[in-house]
Structure 1
Amino acid sequence: MDLSELGDRICILGPSNSGKSTLAQAIGQKCNLEVIHLDQFYHWPHTNWQVRPRDEFIALHDTAIAGDRWIMDGNYTGCMPQRFQRATGLILLDVSTSTSLVRYFYRTLFQSNRPGNLAGGQDSIKWAMLHHILVVTPKNRKRYTQLFNQAELPKIRLTSRREINQCYLDWSLQRPL
């Protein structure tokens, strides 16, 4: 699929640490789209990933999707219906649990300035995140696949690091530094 087929309002879904934010940043840069990392709306900046009140998160989300040109990474299924109504394209990164786990350790230990990072936040290895990747994410994977299959949008499903890397090549994307 050609990147232009996804339009000017693209959603990227997938498990934690699958590369959603990095891909969003690369596509946003290439296509001149506003890059929206939902984790930054869901959590307070300058905290250790402290969650905002739900109504504030939804207000930030709904304001962002009202824009004309954006790429948004993150799941947050409670607000997917309104996001999918505005979206023109969908990308699902459906990578393995082991890939997500390796990426979590790598980004936490070696990437202090990564796309989607929380402003002023300090990444560290957390038992809660390990539990999320190993226990919660496999259950969510089925839900993401179902939502992806039901969406009546131009869409692409990438199931491995190899497929994701091929999209970077095919779409002439530059990985953020």
Structure 2
Amino acid sequence: MLSADDPLPFRPERILIAGVSGSGKTTLAARIGAAWDLRHIEIDALFHGPEWTPRPTFLDDVRTFAAEERWITEWQYTSKGTDEILPPRADLALWLDYPYRVVRSRLIRRTLARGVLRRELWNGNREKGPWNMLNRDPEENILAWQTKTLRHWAERMPGIEERFPHLTIVRLRHPREAERWMRAQA
């Protein structure tokens, strides 16, 4: 596993960005995609159909873009089958392993902004509103989901390294490290 200060041994063409909800996966994916001319596929847009229902073509859509030569996406929906498709094709994984206070504050700001502005996210869906942050059900409340899944990647990464030895993993422990890493790649 590499750190923010380790040079990449190659120029990646298929990148996964892992991290808990609110870590900034989509924002970083868009930035890297623009900088390296990689197609950014926002995986939430493939998963969520109207009324927040899972799209039946989700895994087929993931297979289709994963077969392409150059892309970047968020590493999510691992329990839905994406681990069988994306890591075997990816050559780099960026793991945003940020402190709790960073990811929590980012998620609260994002959720409040989306809820108040009622901005469309994917396929006609909108954040349910700031009052939904009071719901204790992780399936209904993104803050409860973040709490439930906070250690998900730390628990999984040792097995991922073993299962996908071809995959270069860079662990970024703070947004400052991510910025330093981005500057070093230019």
Q: Any gaps of 5 or more consecutive residues in structure 2?
A: 1-5, 136-140
Q: TM-score, normalized by length of structure 1? A: 0.80
SS at match of 1:25: helix
Deviation at 1:13, TM superposition (A): 1.0
Matched, 1:33 2:38: yes
1:129-140 maps to which residues of 2 (within 5 A)?
129-134=142-147, 136-140=148-152
Q: Which string of whole-angstrom CA distances, capped at 9 and with x for unpartnered residues, describes residues 103-159 of structure 1?
A: 112122336699xx425332234332111011x212413334234433322221111
* One-letter amino acid of the counterpart of residue 102, structure 1: S
Structure 2: distance between partners of 1:6 and 1:120: 36
Deviation at 1:74, TM superposition (A): 2.7
Aligned length: 165
1:112-151 maps to which residues of 2 (within 5 A)?
117-123=121-127, 124-125=129-130, 126=132, 127=135, 128-134=141-147, 136-150=148-162, 151=164
Query: Of the two, which has the highest radius of gyration?
Result: 2
Q: Any gaps of 5 or more consecutive residues in structure 1?
A: 173-177
Structure 1: distance between partners of 2:25 and 2:72: 10
Structure 2: distance between partners of 1:113 and 1:171: 36
Q: Percent identity?
A: 28
1:26-175 maps to which residues of 2 (within 5 A)?
26-44=31-49, 47-53=50-56, 56-77=57-78, 78-110=81-113, 117-123=121-127, 124-125=129-130, 126=132, 127=135, 128-134=141-147, 136-150=148-162, 151-152=164-165, 153-172=167-186
SS at match of 1:5: coil
Structure 2: distance between partners of 1:147 and 1:32: 30
